[in-house]
Structure 1
Amino acid sequence: MKTDKLTGRMILLGLLFTFCWASSCEQIRPDRHKWYKGNLHTHSYWSDGDEFPEIIMDWYKESGYHFVALSDHNIFAEGEKWVTIRDDSIYQNGFQNYLDEYGEDWVNYREEDGKIQVKLKTFAEYAPLFEQRERFLMLPAEEISDGYDGKPLHLNVTNLEKLIMPQGGESIVEVLQNNINAVLEQRRETGKPMMVHINHPNFRWAITLEDMVRLKGERFFEVYNGHPQVNNLGDKERGSLGTEEMWDFINIAYLEKGQPLLFGLATDDSHNYHRKGSQFSNAGRGWVMVRADSLEAGALIEALEAGDFYATTGVELDEIRYENNTLTINAIQKEGVEYIFEFIGCRTGDKETQVLKEVKGVSADYQLEKDILFVRCKITSSEAQDNPVENMTSQLAWTQPVRPRQ
């Protein structure tokens, strides 16, 4: 049974730790500058996802992720919550699989009026089943789901200390800013590493470029979100920018105002775990690769805030180096796969970005001159993405923008 397997694994890890402590073994110390794979936006039965947290976390861990932020809407996995299993055989079978995997001693359920109800496990209960030093980390998280004038305004909080309820406001910008401020204030009060990011700005066309430009204190947004309804590519007919175009205009405006550059994340925003396809919000579509010195919340957030990461829908990089004003990028070579590197940047005085250099191959570099405001790189693979949305069929990666150094 799953519980037996997990218990055995935890005992083995305990024995290994005891041995290494006794012998002062240096080899268990994490290697510096290791790449960690993570998803910062996902959902479970605690809000509008359709699976138990344990099943979701098991999938991410077995799929090679190192950290996950399970970010349900305006709720954190604490206290008592019961969920009624839908009558559809898919969900009934899902419950039976959950029961088979974790057993009667773990699963607390009842039947009322012919309906199966299950008591959800809290974060404090299920996180220890999966967390493993330098292998897997769960980050406490929440999706603050606010709104204004019928428009959904969502932000994710990663590594929160306590739940933050929607702050409201009298405009789109005010709602977003009030929620950003609430996160930053909790971070100041607790001293705990914590980050906030803007989710899917084009979901129901809620957040415009003009709204984003007016924000202060925001360092991250989703340049890619794997939900099928978030309009990553924008809509030319309605004059709505895609998130990647929006990203560049935001950064031009931020630099004009003396604000730090905005960084771009890729996330799943997964809700659906029983049906797969372009019309469903599935796991495994987008993630970040963070280069940090350890798999700890503080180290990950520090690296993210330094821009030491890339966002991806499948492209894997083994090196991003920025030295002597030269940005160098190496992709992990796969047989038969070709890569296109586009260095996208803005020159001083320009009002929009352009492709400054394009390279086909496995690696590429770009020398930043003094007249460059910033440069980022988009890498497109000839390999198709598994289960894409919005006809974004190619695997992609985005590095974070960098500026010339003196």
Structure 2
Amino acid sequence: MKKSYFPADGVWLKGNLHSHTTVSDGAFAPEMLARLYASAGYSFLSMTDHNLLVPHEDLQEKRLLMLAGVEHDLEYSRDQCTHVVGIAPAGKSATDYPCKRYFPKDLTDQQLIDMMRGDGQFVTLAHPVWSRMEVKQILELKNFHAIEVFNNGTEHLCHGGNAEIYWELLLRHGRRVFATASDDVHVEGDLFGGWIWVKAAERTPQAIMDAVHSGAFYASSGPVIHDFGLDGGEVVLSCSECREIHFVTYPPRGESFFAKSGETLAEAAHTLAGRESFARAVCVDHEGRSAWTNPIFFDRRAPVE
């Protein structure tokens, strides 16, 4: 019997959870950025300016829902830092802690994450490749919900946007961590290259946040995922026309499918061995852009973060 990873009922909504405006170091005023995303067909946006949570309630409209957010950063040197994005609970317009720039002498990475999580935020570890974070450092951190598997802005800066290997290592260590993709927009070239599609019960900020916290979304830089789930002993995926579909499992190895020359792939299935701790899928379109499902977890070691 087929069982979808996504809720049976609801509406698909496209959004970006990481962006910057002239409130901090972005090139676009909040009003202009909201207009750009609404015109591009996005349903929701979070303006996560550095160390400032501004709800932008005045920009809330039918076309584009605004989610209050913030990006905190700890700078260790010119080359190394930790950046963490937090999306506030729906309707919350200020943090319960002093929302300001913190320094390593003030708190550790873990204390920063815990503070944001304690405020009710959906907490994402941002662009760890660009931040020059070490594997050991990432694996020691706890209590965050997601990691940016793709960041369009840092990919444009220095090929520092793809963090799938870090996410994979977290999953292999039994961590229940989701994956997001984002623009992290600062300038025009960062626009519309990374986003998430959320399956929400309805088109409201509360429903979006409920879906994000439950993992009812996927990350993409191009392809559309129509469905992902289990069908008997198989994990199955259907998507827009792609050249590759990969099923990633652990510890048993998954399986990859490639379209023949001149053809495309829009669905695939992989037979599970029964020993997997998780199964996820990645599809790649003919322009090399990817979409990533969140994992189906079978491993009881992986409690909700």
Interval containing the TM-score (normalised by the shorter chain): 0.7 to 0.9
Query: Is 1:404 matched with 2:298?
Result: yes
Instruction: Give the number of the structure whose alpha-carbon radius of gyration is greater.
Output: 1
**Further displaced range: 148-157 or 284-293:** 148-157
Secondary structure of the corresponding residue to residue 198 of structure 2? strand
Query: Is 1:268 matched with 2:197?
Result: no
Counterpart of 2:118 in structure 1 is: 185
Counterpart of 2:282 in structure 1 is: 378
Question: C-alpha distance in 2, partners of 1:77/1:298?
Answer: 18
Cα shift readout 1:189-208 (whole Å, capped 9, x = no counterpart): xxxxx301111001141x12
- Deviation of 1:364 after TM superposition, in Å, equals 1.2
Query: Is 1:248 matched with 2:168?
Result: yes
Q: Quick check: 1:148–1:170 contact (8 Å CA) kept in 2? A: no
- Deviation of 1:292 after TM superposition, in Å, equals 1.4
1:193-212 equivalent positions in 2, closer than 5 A: 194-205=121-132, 207-212=133-138
Q: Quick check: 2:74–2:104 contact (8 Å CA) kept in 1? A: no
Cα shift readout 1:314-337 (whole Å, capped 9, x = no counterpart): 10122223454543211134xxxx
When residues 325 and 137 of structure 1 are mapped into structure 2, their CA distance, relative to the original with a 3 A threshold, is farther
Q: Quick check: 2:276–2:299 contact (8 Å CA) kept in 1? A: no
Q: Quick check: 2:124–2:147 contact (8 Å CA) kept in 1? A: yes
Counterpart of 2:195 in structure 1 is: 287
- Partner amino acid for 1:179? L
- Partner amino acid for 2:268? A
Q: Percent identity?
A: 23
Q: Quick check: 2:84–2:124 contact (8 Å CA) kept in 1? A: yes
Per chain length, whose mean CA-contact separation is higher, i.e. which structure has more relative contact order (CA < 8 Å, sep 6+)?
2
Alignment TM-score, normalising by the size of structure 2: 0.83
Q: Quick check: 2:52–2:70 contact (8 Å CA) kept in 1? A: yes
Counterpart of 1:41 in structure 2 is: 18
Question: C-alpha distance in 1, partners of 2:267/2:150?
Answer: 23
Counterpart of 2:303 in structure 1 is: none
- Deviation of 1:307 after TM superposition, in Å, equals 2.3
Query: Is 1:358 matched with 2:264?
Result: no
Counterpart of 2:5 in structure 1 is: none
Q: Quick check: 2:86–2:123 contact (8 Å CA) kept in 1? A: yes
Cα shift readout 1:20-59 (whole Å, capped 9, x = no counterpart): xxxxxxxxxxx93321100001111101111111111111
Cα shift readout 1:338-391 (whole Å, capped 9, x = no counterpart): 43111112126xxxxx44342542111223332112121110111x2xxxxxxx
Cα shift readout 1:73-120 (whole Å, capped 9, x = no counterpart): 112337xxxxxxxxxxxxxxxxxxxxxxxxxxxxxxxxxxxxxxxxxx
Question: C-alpha distance in 2, partners of 1:325/1:37?
Answer: 31
Count of residue correspondences: 279
Query: Is 1:144 matched with 2:144?
Result: no
- Identify unmatched segments of 5+ residues in structure 1: 1-30, 79-122, 188-193, 234-241, 277-281, 349-353, 385-393
Secondary structure of the corresponding residue to residue 266 of structure 1? strand
Query: Is 1:159 matched with 2:159?
Result: no
- Deviation of 1:218 after TM superposition, in Å, equals 1.1
Of the candidates 142, 147, 157, which is equivalent to residue 221 of structure 1?
147
When residues 231 and 64 of structure 1 are mapped into structure 2, their CA distance, relative to the original with a 3 A threshold, is same
- Partner amino acid for 1:199? A
Secondary structure of the corresponding residue to residue 229 of structure 2? strand
Counterpart of 1:72 in structure 2 is: 49
Counterpart of 1:14 in structure 2 is: none
- Deviation of 1:245 after TM superposition, in Å, equals 1.3
- Partner amino acid for 2:194? G
Cα shift readout 1:162-181 (whole Å, capped 9, x = no counterpart): 2433454469xx62211111
Question: C-alpha distance in 2, partners of 1:39/1:311?
Answer: 10
When residues 293 and 147 of structure 1 are mapped into structure 2, their CA distance, relative to the original with a 3 A threshold, is same
Secondary structure of the corresponding residue to residue 28 of structure 2? coil
- Partner amino acid for 2:135? L
When residues 165 and 369 of structure 1 are mapped into structure 2, their CA distance, relative to the original with a 3 A threshold, is farther
**Further displaced range: 208-217 or 153-162:** 153-162
When residues 249 and 170 of structure 1 are mapped into structure 2, their CA distance, relative to the original with a 3 A threshold, is farther
Question: C-alpha distance in 2, partners of 1:310/1:62?
Answer: 22
Of the candidates 30, 33, 41, which is equivalent to residue 53 of structure 1?
30
Q: Quick check: 1:197–1:220 contact (8 Å CA) kept in 2? A: yes
Question: C-alpha distance in 1, partners of 2:110/2:13?
Answer: 30
When residues 230 and 68 of structure 1 are mapped into structure 2, their CA distance, relative to the original with a 3 A threshold, is farther
